[in-house]
Structures are given as C-alpha cells and as structure tokens.
Amino acid sequence: MSGDKRVTFRLWRGDATGGNLVDYETEVSEGMVVLDAVHNIQAEAANDLAVRWNCKAGKCGSCSAEVNGMPRLMCMTRLNELPLDAPITLQPMKAFPIQRDLVTDVAWNYGVKKRIRPFKPRPPDAEDGSWRMVQADIDRVQEFRKCIECFLCQDVCHVLREHGKHSEFIGPRFLVYTAALEMHPLDTEDRRAELKDEFGVGYCNITKCCTNGCPEEIKITDNAIIPLKERVVDAFYDPLAGLRALLFGGRHG
Amino acid sequence: MTDHETHSYDVLVIGAGGAGLRAAIEASAQGASVGLVCKSLLGKAHTVMAEGGVAAALANVDERDNWQVHFADTMRGGQYVNDWRMAELHAREAPDRVRELEAWGAVFDRTDDGRILQRNFGGHKYPRLAHVGDRTGLELIRTLQDHGIHQGIEVHMECTITRLLTDSSGVSGAFGYERERGRFRVFRAKAIVIATGGFGRAFSVTSNSWEYTGDGAYLALEAGADLMDMEYVQFHPTGMVWPPSVRGILVTEGVRGEGGVLRNSEGRRFMFDDIPELYRAQTADNEEEGWRYTQGDRDARRPPELLTRDHVARCIRREVREGRGSPHGGVFLDIAWIKDRVPGGAEHIKRKLPSMYHQFKQLAGLDITEQPMEVGPTTHYAMGGIRVDADTQSSTVPGLYAAGEAAAGLHGANRLGGNSLSDLLVFGKRAGEHAARFAADQGEPLVEEAQVEAAVAEALEPFARHQTDGSGREGPYQIQFDLQETMQDLVGIVREQAQLEEAIERIRALKERAAVVGASGNREYNPGWHTALDLRGLLAVSAAVARAALLRRESRGAQFREDYPDKDPVLGQTRLLVRRAPDGELEIERTTVPEVPDDLRQVIEENR
C-alpha cells in the first residue's frame, strides 16, 4: 500500500430487530488496521456507530468481528492484508445475539465460565504458602492461559454457529479453560463427568476451525480438546473397565 | 421520576481492573455485599496490557532482596516525594499478594528449582518482577477474574458511572448508564471504592486504552475529594512509533531487562552519555558489565537502559531533537543482537518476549529477532490521582476509597516498572477491606431523588442540545482530538511556563465547546454520546495536570520544566492538592510531603 487512498467499508448496521450493510468511504494510510478505519468512520460520518474495543494492541480481545467473512480482531488486521479495490465488509460475530452494529451480546460466555468448577490447589509445598512447579510441567497450561477471551473460537465453531447448541456445549474457549484447570499441576478437582455430560466435549468433531482462527495461536483442538476427550474416554469408556464391570459388576459409565 | 434500575450494596467498586477486582474480592471476604461496575466487559480492563511483571521482594532469584531494598528503590525512583507509608506497606505486603495469586491459579514462569521466577527491571536493584513471559497483566487480571466470579460479587459489565451521590455524612451511591440500551442505573452504597485507573486518553500518543478518561479522579473531585500529585504523568520511554496508527502502543521494559539496548542513528548507546548522580554508583559504566547484569551476574551493575523511565524518556527525546533519531522520529531498540550471546538465539527471544514478537510482526511487519525496533516516549501512567490515607485508602470524603492508578502517593514523582501491578494488589486489598469495615458501621444510605434527577438531566443534555437548534451542532470527537493535541504539545514530556499557560487557556476554551456538545442517534450503545460525557472528566483532569505543572517550578521525576531544569529543595517538600472550590473552579493548595520517620530514613541510607 503506498500513499493514502479512499476505500469503501461495508458495515453491518442495525440491532436485534434487523439491519443491513451500509457503505462508508474513508481514507486509509500506511500501517492502518481495520479498527482505525472504523474509528475514522465513527468520527467523520457515523458518531453513533457501535463497536466494542479497548486496548487496540491485540491484548484484550474486545474487537472481534467478521472481516470479509473471516473471524478477526479488527485491531490486529492490517488493511494491506486485504484487497482494497473492492469494499471491505465488516459484520458482527454470528454465534451471538446482536446488540447493535458490530457489537454482540457475549454474556452467555460469562455464564458458562461460572459453571466450571474453579481451581482447587493441593496444600502448599512450603511453609510460606508457596508451591514448587517445574517449568516444563506448566508450559502447556501457560499456552492455554494466553487466551484473551475474544470468543472468535466460539464464533467459528459449527456446534455453536450453525447448530446453536449453546445449552449443551461450552465451546472451544471453555474447553481450553477447563483443560488449563485439569492440566494445572496443583489442581485437585476432577471435571471429567461434567465434560462428558454438561459441557458436551463429545460434540467437537475436530475440524479445527477454532485453532485456525485463534489470534493467540493456541493449538485448541490438538492440545486442549483432544486430550480432554481422551481423559473422558479413559474415565468412562475404558473397554477393560467395561469388561471388568460385566464380569464382576460395578460401574460402567 | 425517571425510570431506572436501583441496586443496593454495602460496597460498590467502580472499575474492574486489578485494583477493583482485588478490592471486590476482599470486601466480599469481609462479609460485605459487593457490586462491581466496569465500563467494559469483565477481564478487558487496562491491567490486561501490563507486560513486564509484578514487583515483589520474594528473593527467589537473588536472596539479597528484601522489603527494605524494594522500599528504598521505590522511594529513590519517586524522587523521595512518595507517601513513605504507602511505599512501606507496598514493599512489605507485595510478596504475600503475589503468592496469594498462585493459590488462586496463577501460573508464573519458574526458576530452576520450581519457584516463581523474577526478572530485572528499571530502578529495581535485584531481579524482582514475577512474570509470565510478557503478558503478566493478562495472567493477573484473569486470575482475579476467575477467582472473583465465585465470590458472590455482582458484576455490572459495560456500565459507566457519571456521578457519585452524596448525603450529609459522605457518599451514598453512584449513578450511571449501561451501554447496551443506555438505561440508567442507581447504586445505593454505604462505601465506594474507585479503581478506575488513569487518564492517558487526555494525550494523543498513549499506551492507554479508550477507557482511561480520568473518570475516577473526576468523580472524586465532584464529590468533594482532594486530588494530588497531578503534575506527575509518566511518559514510558518505549512506545511504538511506526506505523502511525499504532503510535504509542507499549513496548515492554522487559525488552531491556532481557538485554535489549537503545541506540541512536549513529549506532551509539547514548544512555551511557548521561547517568544521573543518584544512580551513578549502581549503573554499569561499560557495555559488557551491563550485559552481564541482564544475564544474572550478581556482581555486575545494571545497564543505563534500565535507569528510571522519566530519565530514559528524556534521553530519547534529546537524541531525536538533536537529529540522531530513527527514520520515524524515535530511536532504535535492539534485542536481535543478543542472538549470538544466548543459547537458542532467536527462539530464546520469542520465548521471553512472545507478545512483542507478535506485536511487531503483525502491526509493523518487523521481525524483532532480526531487526531493531523503532521506539519513542508514550503517555503511560498517572502517578497523581485521588489523595488517600496510606493504611485505609480512604479519600477525604467519608466512605469514598480509591486504589491502584486512580489513587496517588505510592509512586511519588515517578513510578518504577512492575510497581503498578503490585500496587493494585496491595492497595486493592486494603481498600476493599477498609471499605467493608466502614460499611459495616453504616446505616442504609439515603439517595436523594433530586440528585438522581440532576444526574439524569446531565446525562441526557447532549441529546437535547443536538435536537434543538443553535447549540449541540458539534459532536464530541473533534473536541477530544483538540484536547489530546493540546496536552501532547504543551503539557508533555518537557514543559515550560508560556506553554502551560497557553494549555490552560485552550482547555478553558475547549470546556466551553464541551458545554454545548451534542450527541446524535439514540441511547443504545452510542459511542458518540459516551464520548460526549467522558469529555467532562478528561477536561477537568487535564486542567488539574496543567495547573499543577505550572505551579511546580522545578524538575523532578516525570515533571520536567525546561525553564526550571533543576530540583528545588522547597518544592521538594511541597505537595500540590487540587480540589473543586465553592465557585466551581479548581483550587490548588500547597501542603507538605510527610516526613520519613528515622527508621525508614535509615533504610534509605543503607541502600543508597
């Protein structure tokens, strides 16, 4: 991209009752990101354009939207990555109810998190109340804790987006969250029964859309969801345990 | 009577960054019913952007560290105008507050023997910052959030407070709107904790998010509280300078802690050229010693890149002014050079500074393991804010408390990196505890309907003006831009009498424009309306900063006066308080900086 040029942005405007795409033209210059253009439009032509954002540095995960149909953080999407000769379409995330313009109601996510049993550490290892953990044992958990809760993984997950299984499936974000708790070296809680029955880990069919869209590059499917599925299988579908139960009686999940 | 929802709590916490969350958790633990109001979604507050770490003398990496050294470092960094008692409490209690986070699920980087790892940072004598790569703030806010949601705290997300309500005995509640529908909410509360952070959005180049509009200082000021130290605004030395749209975004001090060096266009490490007397004894005088320090050599002294932020920022400005800057008006920050000195090379850099790698790659198309970054000063932090009692965090208004960046005192004239996250833990807890205790002794507060009606009318004025002819033609954005430019150009990193006087005049004129600002559209999620209301706080806080800066005719810490480049011993004992006078104007009172008691003076001397 060289020099300033005028570019058309096709923004979805409306609320829960409906809306439509509206074209705005604004000048773009070197290094600009999509959110800059939205701010320009807001200042120049649409003072009341609703957009959620905070840090503008890819750290808070507020400005999630669909840029030309792709789930993106608007603050981290540079305009020179996009074809500027055609209008750039900006739409709100589809997996959540619309509030207004580019803003969706993500409250469901906060409710889901509350349902997951919190961290419960083993007693401290030292008298000052601290623990000892080896770095290698926490690398994986730290990967999961990079999550900025932008909810783009929830947005692209078919189970939520196409099938609307919000009441039966907690979505990739909260499987990552649960994985971070389950794999935390100090945690003593067991969340496998909920994973199977309430959190719907079985719904994930490993298409990796979440992983591909994650701005923090967390390997959601491979490192979080598949190991959780394995833990659930080990706990409830172990064939040897099943055989034992058949022969000697007892639990078979 | 206007339609609004009413909620009643023992303690209302305004702001859900680290300080607000910690305060809410503590108040709840004390048995108080707690409401937590935040402008954004939970977990998105500015704390999330803190990168380098949380300072606490855990002594995990260097056993010579202890609270006394941390205290002395904090006082030296603040140029000895800090509230000594806050600095003492902070240094003593920070280790417990960090360990407590681990009990709530935080996962800090580890030492080889499995304890919390600590890194070097500017102004800290020993490696002191517990951290998680360069995303420590995220770890901290997420830990507090995930713990806090199970403590029975009622959270009101995307809700902005525009007025505190008071009765004859102190605060009685708060009034605000929720963003989604623009509906009004009244919170009755026996005690209120303000934890709204700072006001970097008054400047055009800033590392701060949109929320940083000085709400807390403004609300407190209007409720009759004192502000103090408003002249001390920290300009972080290393913000991004290119491309223009990302100008101001923070580049963590951790880059320098890991061995990154500053160079000018001639390739010179200019930080060696000017080492202040106060720090000479503890600063390396050659590049090799500085490098050894960053790699953990306990006999080496720290490189001058890790001098305090106020000083480094001014040195960068000097290089740029004198024509030795980088192509886009900054200087070069080079971490790539360490590749040949550490095992793992580029991978080591990516592991230590993942967010920085990501940020430059994505926003500037630059690989920090290959090329130097271009950096320059960016408005970062307000040392000033609401005047509080050190032990209880109570403001001068009964029942009103403040913690974190919104409160003043701990950092004096300049904050050390890493002392912000520890500040909000230590004093967030204290504010929550004392607010809950205060509330326990109070009867039901009385909310006067007239105050609510006035707050409603004030909030709706921008729409009313827009709809009637004559006034309300101007939207809020241009006024905010003009204010930001004024503060950046005239009340920035280097100040001078005529410029400050001009700034005060311009702010007065902007205030007149803001008094007739209009908002189009309706009340549903309308940023134009929100910005129109935010202007009041931004303008009041900006005026306070400019007026205090004008009165402080000396250079100390973050306040640098070109016309008074030296410290003034009398002003060094003087603290400037700002409050709202009966006529509605801001008035400034001079008081004395509290004297450090002998035993702590001794601690300072021993750690010179």
Closest CA to B448 of B173, B160, B161: B173
Please list, in sequence order, all residues whose beta carbon lies within 8 angstroms of the beta carbon of residue B534, skipping any fewer than 6 positions away.
B213, B215, B476, B480
Q: Residue B252's domain spans which residues?
A: 239-378
B353 CB within 8 Å of a chain A CB: no
Residue whose tokens read 């000594």: B84
Nearest-CA distance from A186 to chain B in Å?
A: 8
Q: Write the pLDDT tens digit of every residue in A61-84.
A: 999 999 999 999 999 999 999 999
Domain assignment present for residue A249? The answer is: no
Q: pLDDT at residue B472 above 80?
A: no
- Taking contacts as CB-CB distances below 8 angstroms, the residues of chain A near B477 are 42-43, 47
Which stretches does DSSP call E strand in B343-459?
Answer: 373-382, 385-386, 400-402
Same domain flag for A124 and A78: no
Nearest-CA distance from A248 to chain B in Å?
A: 41
A142 CB within 8 Å of a chain B CB: yes
Domain assignment present for residue A244? The answer is: no
In B247-276, the residues whose Cβ lies within 8 Å of chain A are 249-250
B512 CB within 8 Å of a chain A CB: no
What is the total count of domains within chain A? Answer: 2
Same domain flag for B368 and B258: yes
Same domain flag for A130 and A89: no
Residue whose tokens read 């591909």: A212
Largest CA distance in chain A: 78
Kindly report the pTM of this predicted structure. 0.95
pLDDT of residue B468: 73
Q: For an interface test with A, give the residue of B38, B40, B44 to mutate (most A CBs within 10 A).
A: B44
Please list, in sequence order, all residues whose beta carbon lies within 8 angstroms of the beta carbon of residue B131, skipping any fewer than 6 positions away.
B52, B53, B54, B108, B109, B117, B118, B119, B254
The count of CB pairs under 8 A between chains A and B is 171
A212 CB within 8 Å of a chain B CB: no
Same domain flag for A92 and A169: no
B528 CB within 8 Å of a chain A CB: yes
Nearest-CA distance from A209 to chain B in Å?
A: 21
Compute the distance between CA of residue B243 and CA of residue A28 in angstroms, rounded to an integer: 12
Please list, in sequence order, all residues whose beta carbon lies within 8 angstroms of the beta carbon of residue B503, skipping any fewer than 6 positions away.
B486, B487, B490, B491, B542, B546
Q: pLDDT band at A3, cuts 50/70/90? A: low
B361 CB within 8 Å of a chain A CB: no
- Taking contacts as CB-CB distances below 8 angstroms, the residues of chain B near A30 are 243-244
The edge-to-edge listing of strands for the beta sheet with B233-240 is B233-240, B373-382, B331-334, B261-263
Domain assignment present for residue A251? The answer is: no
Q: Residue A94's domain spans which residues?
A: 5-104
Contact call for B519 and A48, based on CB within 8 A: yes
B362 CB within 8 Å of a chain A CB: yes
Please list, in sequence order, all residues whose beta carbon lies within 8 angstroms of the beta carbon of residue A103, skipping any fewer than 6 positions away.
A50, A51, A52, A92, B525
Q: For residue B588, what are its two tokens?
A: 């400034």
- Residue B116 pairs with which residues in a beta bridge? B110
- Taking contacts as CB-CB distances below 8 angstroms, the residues of chain B near A81 are none
Q: pLDDT at residue B92 above 80?
A: yes
Same domain flag for B252 and B364: yes
Which element (helix H / strand E) includes B463?
helix B449-467
Same domain flag for B459 and B561: yes
- Of the CA atoms within 13 Å of residue A23, those in its CB half-sphere come to 6
Compute the distance between CA of residue B342 and CA of residue B260 in angstroms, rounded to an integer: 13
Radius of gyration over alpha carbons of chain B, in Å?
23
Exposure string (b/e) for B29-53, b if CB count within 10 Å is 16 or more?
A: ebebbbbbbbbbbbbbbbbbbbbbb
- With a pLDDT cut of 70, the percent of chain B lying above it is 99
Same domain flag for B247 and B373: yes
**CATH code, domain with B253:** 3.90.700.10
A135 CB within 8 Å of a chain B CB: yes
- Of the CA atoms within 13 Å of residue B405, those in its CB half-sphere come to 30
B46 CB within 8 Å of a chain A CB: yes
Residue A121's alpha-carbon distances to A118, B132, B444, B476, in angstroms, are 10, 19, 39, 50
Q: pLDDT at residue A13 above 70?
A: yes
Q: For residue B485, what are its two tokens?
A: 């430019």
Q: Where are the alpha helices (DSSP H) in B200-322?
A: 215-222, 254-257, 277-280, 287-294, 309-321
Compute the distance between CA of residue A19 and CA of residue B245 in angstroms, rounded to an integer: 30
Nearest-CA distance from B561 to chain A in Å?
A: 31
Same domain flag for A113 and A191: yes
Compute the distance between CA of residue B532 and CA of residue B523 in angstroms, rounded to an integer: 12
What is the total count of domains within chain B? Answer: 2
- Taking contacts as CB-CB distances below 8 angstroms, the residues of chain A near B150 are 114, 118
Domain assignment present for residue A52? The answer is: yes
Q: What are the backbone angles phi and psi of residue B349, rounded to the nearest 5°?
A: -65, -45
Contact call for A47 and B109, based on CB within 8 A: no
Q: For residue B284, what are its two tokens?
A: 């390396």
Of B350, B378, B406, which closes a domain?
A: B378
Q: What are the backbone angles phi and psi of residue B573, rounded to the nearest 5°?
A: -100, 0
Contact call for A135 and B138, based on CB within 8 A: no
- Tell me: ipTM over 0.90: yes
**CATH code, domain with B485:** 1.20.58.100
Q: pLDDT at residue A1 above 50?
A: no
Q: Write the pLDDT tens digit of every residue in B342-391.
A: 998 899 999 889 889 989 999 999 999 999 999 999 999 999 999 999 99
Same domain flag for B260 and B373: yes
Of B378, B393, B412, which closes a domain?
A: B378
| Residue B178 DSSP SS3 | strand
Q: Write the pLDDT tens digit of every residue in A75-119.
A: 999 999 999 999 999 999 999 999 999 999 999 999 999 999 999
- The Cβ of residue B240 has, within 10 Å, a number of other Cβ atoms equal to 29
Note whether B283 and B304 are within 8 A (CB): yes
DSSP state of B270: G
- Taking contacts as CB-CB distances below 8 angstroms, the residues of chain B near A50 are 524-527
How much is the mean pLDDT over chain B?
95
pLDDT of residue A240: 79
**CATH code, domain with A65:** 3.10.20.30
What is the average per-residue pLDDT within B478-499?
97
Angle between helices B476-490 and B527-551 (to 10 degrees): 20
Contact call for B146 and A118, based on CB within 8 A: yes
Q: Write the pLDDT tens digit of every residue in B129-159.
A: 999 998 999 999 999 999 999 999 999 999 9
Domain assignment present for residue A246? The answer is: no
Domain assignment present for residue A78? The answer is: yes
Closest CA to A226 of A198, A196, A247, A205: A205
Give the one of A31, A50, A58 whose C-beta lies nearest to B359's C-beta: A58
Domain assignment present for residue B282? The answer is: yes
Q: Which residues of B are catalytic?
A: 236, 256
Q: What are the backbone angles phi and psi of residue A6, rounded to the nearest 5°?
A: -90, 135
Nearest-CA distance from B429 to chain A in Å?
A: 18
What is the average per-residue pLDDT within B467-477?
77
Domain assignment present for residue B402? The answer is: no
- Taking contacts as CB-CB distances below 8 angstroms, the residues of chain B near A149 are 43
Of B337, B357, B378, which closes a domain?
A: B378
Q: pLDDT band at B441, cuts 50/70/90? A: very high
B157 CB within 8 Å of a chain A CB: yes
Compute the distance between CA of residue B213 and CA of residue B531 in angstroms, rounded to an integer: 9
Contact call for A76 and B524, based on CB within 8 A: no
B210 CB within 8 Å of a chain A CB: yes
Compute the distance between CA of residue B263 and CA of residue B269 in angstroms, rounded to an integer: 5
Q: For an interface test with B, give the residue of A59, A122, A181 to mutate (most B CBs within 10 A).
A: A59
DSSP state of A187: B
